[in-house]
Amino acid sequence: MKIIHQTDPPWAKPRNVVMFTEIDTATLDEPVAESAAKPVWRGSTRFKGKPVNRQNKTCDARTEWVGHVRRIRDTQDQVAFAELFQHFAPRIKAFLIKSGSDATLAEECAQEVMATLWHKAHLFDPSRATVATWVFTIARNKRIDVLRKQRRPEPQDLWWGPEAEPEQEDVLVLQQETAQLRSAIAALPEAQRQLIEKAYFGDLSHREIASQTGLPLGTIKSRIRLALDRLRHAMN
Amino acid sequence: MSNEIKHHLTDDLLMAYSAGTLPEAFDLMVATHLSLCDHCRARAESFDAVGGCVLQEQDAYVSMSDSSLAATMALIAQGAPALKDARPSCSILPAPLQDYVGGDVNAIKWKPVGMGVKQAILPTTNEATARLLFIPAGAAVPDHSHNGIELTMVLQGAFSDELDHFARGDVEIADQDVHHTPTADVSSDCICLAVTDAPLKFSKLMPRLFQPFLRI
């Protein structure tokens, strides 16, 4: 896929300016309003190797969420936060319910996860994770803390600090590769896909997940490794 | 910083860490290793990407209550939790271990377990045990095998056993088929983080007496 990108980082731009343009996809700058009734996931909408929502002109890479997190970090933008909330909070709540929480606790935890997102916006590194990946890690830690009632040791935080940013191209490529991973998971046979979901909802021990069903993680891993190398260089 | 690490974590462990299904002691091992090893950190974060996709693509949609955004803004207004320094430090214990010890190596509350070997058990849930081990230069941990899995990661110095040589950041993964006598290099005292999910089986009578003290 050909990539066209501008030299300024997207978060340096005013709102509603086109940030990234990808051939074959609609513009990504406008947040797409979510409907509570919007069906999420599969049914007849799965396309092997193609963006899942291609037919309704939104791109799964959804790189604009990156801009939203930057706006929260830089200007405490409550509009950006509300849009992120509308998209992610119901998913966090559903994730926690599937992990064994009751609805009331899941609602409370989803709010706390979103509050953590606000407070840690400066730690988000879009050259290593999509916003969805980052939200998943916060929600997972909340699940361990609240449902399993144990501490969650995390690796030492690494972030770019106030004086540096990741390369925009690194950000875009990582976001795209994660979108491809999402398509690959969607295209898996039902039984394998369910196995992965169960594993990440905390239903399975790791010994029950055999060989990870051949997911294409090699490129993402290399990309994250490169981003870490650049980050280490910037930190030293 | 991680160029010299030769012994890494397995995909199974990294995926389970990402999914959040490991006992706390194993989480501590993984978090400590990832703090030193960018190779495994990249692998772990790619498993996080799978979790991100799963989160995004759920088939059941659950709506939040009408007041939830306002309630979250009120939570945010209460202020941010304190954040740790992200800059690399010269400490021996990586940040996640320091959280359990309450400081660097000087803060470890060692208990002697015989033959110069010392240990400190760290407070985790009891499905598995995490402890720091101090092995004097040139000394050996008693010959033992395992009922379950034992992970040992070097934090200072180095050790060798019948299988290989392990230096800072290296993780030895031993299961019930491994029967080994880790011996610290003579050049310096060795400090390790060891995590087990079942008691060890010692081969000789003497060390078996230590087992209740070792709690391993």
* DSSP three-state, residue B61: coil
Rounded CA-CA distance B48/A113 in Å is 16
Q: Are B116 and B97 contacting, i.e. CB atoms less than 8 angstroms apart?
A: no
Considering only CB atoms, A94 lies closest to which of B45, B62, B73, namely: B62
In a domain, B198, yes or no: yes
Place of tokens 């060891």: B194
Across B18-37, b (16+ Cβ under 10 Å) vs e yields: bbbbbbbbbbbbbbbbbbbb
Rounded CA-CA distance A94/A1 in Å is 33
Greatest Cα pair distance in chain A: 50
Show the domain range for A196.
Answer: 3-235
Q: Describe the strand order of the beta sheet including B171-174 as a list of residue ranges.
A: B111-114, B117-122, B129-135, B190-196, B150-156, B171-174
Residue A26 confidence (pLDDT): 32
Residue A186 confidence (pLDDT): 86
Other Cβ atoms less than 10 A from the Cβ of B205: the count is 7
What's the distance, CA A223 to chain centroid? 15
Q: How confident is the model at residue B69 (pLDDT cuts 50, 70, 90)?
A: very high
Phi, psi of B196 (to 5 degrees): -135, 150
Residue B87 confidence (pLDDT): 55
Instruction: Tell me which chain A residues have a C-beta less than 8 angstroms from the C-beta of B70.
Output: none
Q: How confident is the model at residue B193 (pLDDT cuts 50, 70, 90)?
A: very high
Assess whether pLDDT exceeds 80 at residue B102. Answer: yes
Average pLDDT over residues B185-212: 67
Instruction: Tell me which chain B residues have a C-beta less than 8 angstroms from the C-beta of A221.
Output: 42-43, 45-46
Rounded CA-CA distance B216/B214 in Å is 5
Number of folded domains that form chain B: 1
In CATH, what number is assigned to the domain containing residue B124?
A: 2.60.120.10
In a domain, B11, yes or no: yes
Query: Which parts of chain A have pLDDT scores under 50?
Result: 1-61, 206-208, 210
Assess whether pLDDT exceeds 90 at residue B210. Answer: no
Q: Are A166 and A126 contacting, i.e. CB atoms less than 8 angstroms apart?
A: yes
Q: How far is CA A116 from CA A68, A73, A112, in A?
A: 15, 12, 6
Q: Which two tokens stand for residue B70?
A: 């306002």
Among B29, B33, B43, B45, pick the best mutation site for testing chain A contact (most A Cβ within 10 A).
Answer: B45
Show the domain range for B38.
Answer: 1-59+91-216
The size of the A-B interface in CB pairs under 8 A is: 225
Residue A161 confidence (pLDDT): 81
Instruction: Tell me which chain A residues have a C-beta less than 8 angstroms from the C-beta of B47.
Output: 217
Greatest Cα pair distance in chain B: 66
Q: Which of A68, A72, A59 is nearest to A28 (CA)?
A: A59
Residue A54 confidence (pLDDT): 37
Q: Are B74 and A146 contacting, i.e. CB atoms less than 8 angstroms apart?
A: no
**Sequence-distant contacts of A18-26: CB under 8 A, at least 24 apart:** A19/A63, A19/A64, A19/A67, A20/A63, A20/A172, A22/A59, A22/A61, A22/A176, A25/A51, A25/A54, A25/A57, A25/A59, A25/A61, A26/A57, A26/A58, A26/A59
Instruction: Tell me which chain A residues have a C-beta less than 8 angstroms from the C-beta of B69.
Output: 82, 85-86, 89
Q: Which two tokens stand for residue A234?
A: 């910037």
Contact A94 B24 (CB under 8 A): no
Considering only CB atoms, A153 lies closest to which of B31, B47, B48, namely: B31
DSSP string, A20-65: EEETTS--SSSPPPPPTT---S-TT---TTS-TTGGGT--TT-THH
Place of tokens 């081969």: B203
ipTM value: 0.87
In a domain, B84, yes or no: no
> Which residue from B minimizes the CA distance to A177?
B49
Q: Are A215 and B83 contacting, i.e. CB atoms less than 8 angstroms apart?
A: no
Phi, psi of A44 (to 5 degrees): -95, 10
Q: How confident is the model at residue B146 (pLDDT cuts 50, 70, 90)?
A: low
Which run of H or of E encompasses B183? Answer: strand B183-184
Number of folded domains that form chain A: 1
In a domain, B68, yes or no: no
> Which residue from B minimizes the CA distance to A107?
B64
Q: What amino acid is encoded at A74 in this protein?
A: D
Among A44, A99, A111, pick the best mutation site for testing chain B contact (most B Cβ within 10 A).
Answer: A111
Residue A203 confidence (pLDDT): 64
In a domain, B1, yes or no: yes
DSSP H helical segments within B20-94, as ranges?
Answer: 24-36, 38-56, 68-77
* DSSP three-state, residue B116: coil
Q: Which of A84, A46, A85, A209 is nearest to B59 (CA)?
A: A46
Q: Which of A73, A64, A70 is nearest to A11 (CA)?
A: A70
In a domain, B114, yes or no: yes
Residue A216 at interface with chain B, using a CB cutoff of 8 Å: no
> Which residue from B minimizes the CA distance to A140?
B20
Instruction: Tell me which chain A residues have a C-beta less than 8 angstroms from the C-beta of B71.
Output: 111
Tens of pLDDT, residue by residue over B40-52, are 999 999 999 999 9
Contact B58 A98 (CB under 8 A): yes
Report the gap between the CA of B126 and the closest CA in chain A (Å).
Answer: 10
In a domain, B153, yes or no: yes
Rounded CA-CA distance B169/B2 in Å is 8
Q: Are A3 and A36 contacting, i.e. CB atoms less than 8 angstroms apart?
A: no
Instruction: Tell me which chain B residues have a C-beta less than 8 angstroms from the C-beta of A118.
Output: 76
Contact B12 A209 (CB under 8 A): yes
Residue B73 confidence (pLDDT): 97
Q: Could you say which DSSP state residue A187 is in?
A: T
- What distance, in Å, lies between the first and last C-alpha atoms of chain A? 34
Which run of H or of E encompasses B191? Answer: strand B190-196
In a domain, B197, yes or no: yes
